[in-house]
Amino acid sequence: MPQDDAESRSFDVLGPRFAGFEDFWRREIEPNLDAQNRKRRQSLAIIGVSLLIGGALGVASFLSTDEMQVINPMLIVPAILVGGIGCGWAARRLADSEGSLVTAIFGYLDLDYSRVAGVFPLDRFRELGILPSYDRSKLEDRVRGQHAGVAFDIAEAYLEEKRTQNTKNGTKTTYVTVFDGLLIRCGFLKPFSTRVLVKRDAGWLAGALSGLFGGGDKVRLEDPRFEEVFEVYSKDQVEARYLLTPLFMERLLALDRRFGGGQMALAFEGQEVWIALRQAGDSFRLGSLWRGYSRASVAAFLKGLAELFLLIEEINARGSISSGPRA
């Protein structure tokens, strides 16, 4: 039976940045991945025992309910605590050990990684028009470094918008996910001085609002295929066309298809490109509590990184070097 492609191919073929990674995998990652899987099995056992004890206390609470049908708090509270604390502790323990492996991989690739995003220009992405409005946000898994001659800064973002509705029992508040994916800020090699917004074609009303709130005028371009997918706004029509050459538009269409279609929006400003890439799920995980950890799961993680490197390379093909993200 033939091996799975991820199991048989060397990691070195993912790109020049991954040269020698196969040896690093055998020396540093593979032995620790076995230990990670042992911790995973231990975590599953801890979660199972916690849920079993919590469930037993919950059943005891129900059976000891008095004639007034009041659940016994002396049992239901410990049931919730045992289940919650046990599951939470096991999940954190596994995530901490996995984080050490992820940090080691990024270290080999000469990149700076942190599970905590810290100070990240999230609001600037919204101000540039490539993120929807949101009421609460979660940022994590920040990666910074250099690639293809430019500096880059990436963070994983999960954004929610508050929705309220009136019901017969009063006002109900819920939060709806409006963005789940990666935010990328990197230097742009081709010199320009205006702001250019490239976003999905959202119809005439959304386009009018984009222009009304500072996005500039809609730019008419030479490629009808590009205009079927994207809308472009700028206050300088000439420079926007200089930036979006036919070759560059073709490159953006190819990248959009590569990342699933409909997932990418970009803004060019300050000699940088700001990218919002919808990509549900954890992008910087080597495995999970339920799926486990294997060479195939690490290969999927590394392939995702290679795709991000390709994104930076393709956007910056044929240009003059810029300084990249500034502090």
* pLDDT of amino acid 205: 39
C-alpha–C-alpha distance, residues 293 and 32, integer Å = 10
* pLDDT of amino acid 77: 54
Residue type for position 309: F
- Residue 320 pLDDT more than 50? no
* pLDDT of amino acid 53: 64
Confidence class for position 110, pLDDT limits 50, 70, 90: very high
| Segment 239-294, tens digit of pLDDT | 899 889 888 999 898 888 888 777 899 999 989 999 999 988 788 888 887 788 89
In degrees rounded to 5, what are phi and psi of residue 145? 170, -160
* pLDDT of amino acid 210: 46
The listed range with the strongest mean pLDDT (33-42, 61-70, 91-100, 120-129) is 120-129
To the nearest whole percent, how much of the chain has pLDDT over 70?
A: 76
CB 265 within 8 A of CB 275: yes
Mean pLDDT, the chain, as a whole number? 81
- Residue 322 pLDDT more than 60? no
Total number of residues shown for the chain: 327
Residue type for position 264: M
Question: Three-state SS across the chain?
Answer: CCCCHHHHCCHHHHCHHHCCHHHHHHHHHHHHHHHHHHHHHHHHHHHHHHHHHHHHHHHHHHHCCCCCCCCCHHHHHHHHHHHHHHHHHHHHHHHHHHHHHHHHHHHHCCCEEEEECCCCCHHHHHHCCCCCCCCEEEEEEEEEEEECCEEEEEEEEEEEEEEEEEECCEEEEEEEEEEEEEEEEEECCCCCCCCEEEEECCCHHHHHHHHHHHHCEECCCCCHHHHHHEEEEECCHHHHHHHCCHHHHHHHHHHHHHCCCCCEEEEEECCEEEEEEECCCCCCCCEECCCEECHHHHHHHHHHHHHHHHHHHHHCCCCCCCCCCCC
Residue type for position 67: E
How many Å is the maximal CA-CA distance in the chain?
A: 80
Question: Residue-wise over 217-233: b if at least 16 C-beta within 10 A, else e?
Answer: ebbebebeebbebbbbb
* pLDDT of amino acid 204: 43
* pLDDT of amino acid 186: 96
To the nearest whole percent, how much of the chain has pLDDT over 90?
A: 39
C-alpha–C-alpha distance, residues 145 and 217, integer Å = 34
C-alpha–C-alpha distance, residues 275 and 186, integer Å = 9
C-alpha–C-alpha distance, residues 188 and 268, integer Å = 8
In degrees rounded to 5, what are phi and psi of residue 13? -80, -5
| Segment 142-185, tens digit of pLDDT | 999 999 899 999 999 999 999 988 877 778 889 999 999 999 99
More confident residue, 23 or 56: 23
Confidence class for position 2, pLDDT limits 50, 70, 90: very low
| Segment 169-225, tens digit of pLDDT | 778 889 999 999 999 999 998 888 889 999 986 544 344 444 444 457 899 888 888
| Cβ-based burial of 163 (10 A; exposed 0-12, middle 13-18, buried ≥19) | exposed
- pTM summary value: 0.80
> Which pairs from 12-19 meet CB under 8 Å and 24+ separation?
14/302, 14/303, 14/305, 14/306, 15/306, 15/309, 15/310, 17/109, 17/147, 17/306, 17/309, 18/109, 18/302, 18/306
- Residue 96 pLDDT more than 50? yes
**Which residue in 269, 116, 256, 238 sits closest to 199, CA to CA?**
256
* pLDDT of amino acid 325: 59
